[in-house]
Amino acid sequence: MHTRAEAASSSPEAGNARGAQALTGYPLWRVWWLWGTAAALLTAALLWGGEWAYHAGHPALEAFLGVARVVLYVVWFVAAWRCSRNVAHRLWTHLARAALLAGLVATAVLY
């Protein structure tokens, strides 16, 4: 039998809170440079794979890789936004969020 505390910590809402907290607990530099570099490399690979799928006549695979690319970008964007407060000086929070929004606008315009 579970106690109330165990039941509360195993609820779906508690799981979502832990997931959101996991995205906010890292310093901005780690999310921006390490995760961002990995996301950029994976995005390039997904883009290359999508181009290959298009030329090979596999439109469903191309669409899937395109969706995966967008999901990857959104996950990194949300993590960077949430971690933008984990800095020594508040100026970095504002600069990071401005750069994220500029990148989002550029992505929307280019795609």
Nearest CA among 93, 97, 84 for reference residue 31: 84
Q: What are phi and psi of 86, to 5 degrees?
A: -90, 65
Q: What is the pLDDT of residue 110?
A: 83
Question: E-strand spans in 1-111?
Answer: none
d(Cα 27, Cα 11) in Å, to the nearest integer?
28
Q: What is the pLDDT of residue 7?
A: 45
Tokens of 66: 């395109």
pLDDT digits (tens, 9 = 90+) for 51-74: 999 999 999 999 999 999 999 999
- Report which DSSP code applies to 86: -
Which pLDDT band, with edges at 50, 70 and 90, does 80 fall under? very high
d(Cα 25, Cα 14) in Å, to the nearest integer?
16
pLDDT digits (tens, 9 = 90+) for 94-109: 999 999 999 999 988 9
Domain boundaries, the chain: 26-110
Dmax (CA) for the chain in angstroms is 58
